[in-house]
Structure formats: C-alpha cells, structure tokens
Amino acid sequence: MSKICPLHLFKDNGGPPSALRMSKEPSSNLESAMQMLIKTFHKYSGKEGDKYTLSRGELKELLLEELGTYLGGSKDNEAVEKVMNDLDANNDGEVDFTEFIILMGALTVACNDFFLDCKTDEKPKDGGSA
C-alpha cells in the first residue's frame, strides 16, 4: 500500500492526511514545487471528461503551455502522441496523476543529468574532438 497517488488518498479519506494537507504558504521550495505539480495537473485535467485525468487534448495543452521549452517548443502532433503513448501505462487513453508524475520525474532526471554534464565540462564545445 505505498502507491504514490495523492488523489487516491483524498478520495478514500475525504481529505488529505495532515502531513499532505496543503497550506497556503509552503514552508520550503520543494513543498512549493510539489504543490505546483498538483495545481498544474488539475488546471488542465479539469477541462474536459474525467477531471482527475488528462485526455489527449488536455495533455497536449499542458505540454505545449507548461513544458514547451523542455520539449523543444514542439508543436508536432507526433511528439505529443508519442509522449501520450509512453505515459499511458494502463492504456486507457488518459494520463492520470501517477502517470503524469512519472513524466515529471523522468524530465527532472534528464535535467539533472544535463546539469551534471554542464558542471564537468563548462567550456563550450566548438566541434573539437575529445
């Protein structure tokens, strides 16, 4: 019973456990980041159909509006379709919060890898062989 799904906890208990209860003023950047993830998901998931999941259209809007920079500003439908297919682990045509958070985790890891790469090689590469 350690499935990471805040929405599931909300629905079962009629509200988030005190440890998860969102205050108006997050006490740390990390808490603030977590709240932003949740708020951002619901900002788009509530637009059509099931308000707890992202449809293809909602996911596309979220990707373009919120992650356009990381995803190369791609307005390519194929790219969105590919992300959707990769994310939709249970193949129900919708991206739930757990599936969404996996994307955010993967993107964060990718960003961290990039950051680590930058730190070890700060000189701009100019086509030179290494």
Cα–Cα distance, 53 to 64 (Å, whole number): 17
Per the CB < 8 A criterion, the answer to whether 97 and 5 are in contact is yes
Phi, psi (deg, nearest 5) at residue 66: -105, -25
Examine residue 49 and tell whether it contacts Ca ion (CB under 5 A). yes
Count Cβ atoms below 10 Å from residue 60 Cβ, excluding itself: 19
Question: Which parts of 86-105 interact with Ca ion (CB under 5 A)?
Answer: 88, 90, 92, 94
Q: Cβ 40 to Ca ion, closest distance in Å?
A: 14
> Considering CB under 5 A, how many residues would be counted as binding Ca ion?
7
Report which of 104, 64, 103, 65 is spatially closest to residue 80, judged by C-alpha positions. Answer: 64
CB nearer to Ca ion: pick between 13 and 90: 90
CB nearer to Ca ion: pick between 90 and 108: 90
CB nearer to Ca ion: pick between 26 and 49: 49
Which chain residues interact with Ca ion by CB under 5 A?
A: 45, 49-50, 88, 90, 92, 94
